[in-house]
Amino acid sequence: MNKLRKHLELNVQLILEKRPQSSGLMNLFSPLLAIVLTVVVGGLIFAAMGKPPLTALYLYFIDPLTSWWSVEEVLVKAGPLVLIGVGLAVCFKANVWNIGAEGQLTVGALMGAIIPILWGEWQSPLALLAMLCLGALGGALFALIPAWLKTHFGVNEILTSLMLVYIAQLLLDWFVRGPWKDPNGYNFPKSVSFEGWHLLPMWGDGRMHFGLIVSLVAALVLFWIMRHTLKGFEINVVGSAPRAGTFAGFSQTKMVWFCFALSGGLAGLAGLIEVAGPIGQLQPQISPNYGFTAIIVAFLGRLNPLGVIFAGILLAISYIGGEGIQIELGISSKITQMFQGMLLFFILMCDTLILYQLKWISTKPNQPTSGHAS
């Protein structure tokens, strides 16, 4: 009885109530809310570090867009994020959790680099095409390892795909310090510089490259597939209602293979584009964690390929802005990872509001009863 009275005396109560239908408005609004929360909390952190928060936020988010060279730089960084992000968006939609895009990117770059490093004399547009294909193939094959482990032994793909990242990175490290080291490179751990048709066509100030078009095309094609074709329908159904998927004759096993091959292939392609584009050779570090950041890009973009384009640009700004405030305010560029982490955290939090609503329950009409009871 005591417990009951306590219950009744509470005036208001904040509860999460399941919505009868998922909210379409919140689906769009949740990433925006997450961005606002990230900016506010980011400002508080800047203030706590003794930096002027408004200046810091300006330098972080707005300044990169105020000059043409930094906009170009943002696009160059957005390219791989979008390319990997759209693949992961499809994966996550199908409830397949590829966390190892960073490793697939690395293996893609390694595979594609076979041509400039071992057949340096083959100069033809076909050589570049072959590099792109090998890059995608390498990423896809590497991604099929967790797919195989999952479908044959039931091993959790989150763990295996993540662990394979470190294997891939050590593999790259070994190659550039060992067999593929440039003999004329003063013993630096780098491969020969790629030349001629082993580099992607560039334009602008010399940083914008063909890979951006690849990213855009991949996003548009996947948007079409997800929106209008049976394959997109299959991905949706298998991901959200597996039993209905079986009833429709869609195979879950095949879906795991498909998703890993697709997202791994795109990540491998992104890796090759990085080494054949902005970097121009193999080196121990070829990606500032694009493969992991793309996970945030996929979620921020609502797992929708078009949304991923915008999310990719936003996350690219966070890289450039991080470098900017390091120079201007002397804050460690690790702040980039902090912002990216906060963003993912807030998106996942705000996504709760798509299926649930916050409700104040007032126990006002109950006051007289509570009087009776006590």
Partner 1 sequence: MLNKSNNNAPMTLLQVTNISKKFGDFYANDNLNLSIETGKVHALLGENGAGKSTLVKMMYGALQPTSGSIFWQGQETLIASPAHARELGIGMVFQHFSLFEALTVAENISLALPVQLRQGDLSQRIADLSLDYGLPLNPAALVADLSVGERQRIEIVRCLLQQPKLLIMDEPTAVLTPQEAQALFSTLRRLVEEGCAVLYISHRLEEVKQICHDATILRHGKLVAEVDPKVETAATLAQLMVGSSVHQVSRDANGEIGEVLLSLSHLYQTSSAPFGVDLVDVNLQVKSGEILAIAGVAGNGQGELFSVISGEERNPQQHFISLLGQVSDGLNINQRRLLGAAFVPEERMGHGAVEHLSLTNNILLSRHACNDEGSSLDRGWFGIDRRQLAQLNKAISINYDVRKSREDDVAGSLSGGNLQKFVVGRELNRKPKVLVINQPTWGVDAGAAALIRQAVIDLSRQGSAILIISQDLDEIFELADTIAVISRGQLSPSYAASELSREKIGLMMAGSHEQTAQAFGA
> Is 248 near partner 1 (CB under 8 A)?
yes
Q: Does 246 bind partner 1 (CB under 8 A)?
A: yes
**Rounded distance between C-alpha atoms, residue 308 and residue 89, angstroms:** 8
Q: How far apart (Å, rounded) are the C-alpha atoms in residues 104 and 133?
A: 14
Binder to partner 1 among 121, 153, 184, 243 (CB under 8 A)? 243
Residue 4 interacts with partner 1 (CB under 8 A)?
A: yes
Q: Are 87 and 161 in contact (CB under 8 A)?
A: no
Q: What's the min distance (Å) between Cβ of 28 and partner 1? A: 16
Is residue 11 part of the contact set for partner 1 (CB under 8 A)?
no
Our CB check for partner 1 shows the closer of 21 and 66 to be: 21
List the x/- string, 159-198, binding to partner 1 by CB under 8 A: ----------------------------------------
The pair phi, psi for residue 208, each rounded to 5°, is -65, 135
- Asked if 361 interacts with partner 1 (CB under 8 A), we say yes
CA 3 to each of CA 6, 7, 211, 363, 373: distance values in angstroms, whole numbers, following the listed order: 5, 6, 64, 15, 12
Comparing CA positions, the residue from 107, 118, 143 lying closest to residue 263 is 143
Minimum Å distance from CB 95 to partner 1? 13
Decide: is 5 part of the binding site for partner 1 (CB under 8 A): no
Q: Which residues contact 285 (CB under 8 A, 6 or more apart)?
A: none
As given in the structure block, the two tokens for residue 60 are 């972080």
Select from 15, 47, 54, 155 the one that contacts partner 1 (CB under 8 A): 15
Residue 243 beta carbon to partner 1: minimum distance, rounded to whole angstroms? 5
Can you tell me which of 5, 9, 13, 332 binds partner 1, judged by CB under 8 A? Answer: 13
Do residues 247 and 239 lie in contact, with contact meaning Cβ atoms separated by under 8 Å?
A: no
Whole-number Å distance between alpha carbons of 110 and 284: 11
Interface residue with partner 1 among 95, 193, 283, 363 (CB under 8 A) is: 363
CA distance 49 to 150: 45
Closer CB to partner 1, residue 221 or residue 349?
221
Whole-number minimum distance, CB 357 to partner 1, in Å? 13
Q: How far is the CB of 2 from partner 1 (least distance, A)?
A: 11
Tokens 């879906």 belong to which residue? Answer: 255
Helices (H), the chain: 2-9, 24-48, 53-57, 68-93, 101-112, 114-118, 125-153, 157-177, 211-228, 230-240, 242-247, 252-274, 290-300, 305-329, 335-355, 367-373
- Judged by beta carbon, residue 289 or residue 363, the one nearer partner 1 is 363
DSSP 225: H
Q: How far is the CB of 32 from partner 1 (least distance, A)?
A: 22
Q: Is 249 in the site for partner 1 (CB under 8 A)?
A: yes
Query: Which CB, 22 or 67, lies closer to partner 1?
Result: 22
| Segment contacting partner 1 by CB under 8 A, of 199-207, 235-243, 298-306, 320-328 | 235-243
Residue with token string 């493969």: 291
Binding footprint of partner 1 on the chain (CB under 8 A): 3-4, 7-8, 13, 15, 21-22, 224, 228-230, 233, 236-237, 240-241, 243-244, 246-249, 361, 363, 365-366, 368-369, 372-373
